[in-house]
Amino acid sequence: MEEDWFHGKMGLLPSITSQVNFSDLDRINRIGSGSGGTVYKVLHRPSGKLYALKVIYGHHEDSVRRQICREIEILRDVDNPSVVKCHDMFDHNGEIQVLLEYMDGGSLEGNRIHDEPSLSDFTRQILSGLYYLHRHRIVHRDIKPSNLLINSRKQVKIADFGVSRILSQTMDPCNSSVGTIAYMSPERINTDLNHGKYDGYAGDIWSLGVSILEFYLGRFPFAVGRQGDWASLMCAICLSQPPEAPPTASREFRDFIACCLQRDPAKRWTALQLLSHPFIIQNAGAANNQNNQVHQPHNLPPPRRYFSSS
């Protein structure tokens, strides 16, 4: 019998008021899968509304399940037009299942977006969501093309955070997929590069820069393939110079990528600073709407200069 584990036996987890009954959901088809789980398109029969249901692989210890539950409670409060909404969470046959906003266009993985105004608009939306998360002290830790979703209205939203962060703390790092490692910053892979200190916010910016450059080029921007062997991939990220946008790109785009892919994490721009970069603001125009506007917080360092003097 299906059972909502928030109200399950033994009282292992704090109770959360359910917004949707699990028994009212019908699976339509599978829309994606990865090392962490499988995502299904589901129909909520009473309302006729479509959702995405992420089924997380594995059976977890009670302490991990409680931690995931607390994290989901936080994620349900996240409300930003550039972040995929987390609606609810269930346990069916011991598997954790997360009910999410459905994005009918799928992920941006494998897309080449060579048109700079379009890429600027998509990047602005991602930055708006990333700024919101960072302002609320949420680090994503897994920004990559497959976690950037789009819908038929060309709204781009950040997905797959929170639970993946909790699970990463309970898993051997060697179990992480190479595709995820490919977007990690050098100092996250090799902690000696930053004296053992890791700034998750700066790490998200590096991952964003790699992803945006990949969209522009239509390929993974490092010399080695994204699915190459571990040693070659990590050497390329940690030892080689950060990738650059080609000379054929605009000056603004080349500088934007350079601001994201600074080897020193302290020199990387923040999400808020990047929202004021010429690559973003010169293409904003009518696409910039009231929902995505942000306000300058106090005690933030001033944006660094946009361009080098050369």
Q: How many residues does the chain have?
A: 310
Question: Among 303, 200, 296, 310, which residue's Cα sits nearest to residue 254?
Answer: 310
- Which of 91, 142, 160, 255 does the annotation list as catalytic? 142
54 known member of a binding site? yes
Look-up of token digits 């990865």: 34
What is the per-residue DSSP string for 72-128? HHHHTT---TTBPPEEEEEEETTEEEEEEE--TT-B-TT-----HHHHHHHHHHHHH
Q: Which of 257, 140, 146, 145 lies closest to 200 in space, CA to CA? A: 140
Reference 150, options 189, 211, 101; nearest CA is 101
The radius of gyration computed from the CA coordinates of the chain, to the nearest angstrom, equals: 20
Q: Quick check: is 4 catalytic?
A: no
Alpha-carbon distance 161 to 152, whole Å? 22
Residue that the structure tokens 């009954």 belong to: 21
Q: Would you list which residues are annotated within the binding site for ATP?
A: 54
Q: Would you list which residues are annotated within the binding site?
A: 54
**Which residues are known catalytic residues?**
142
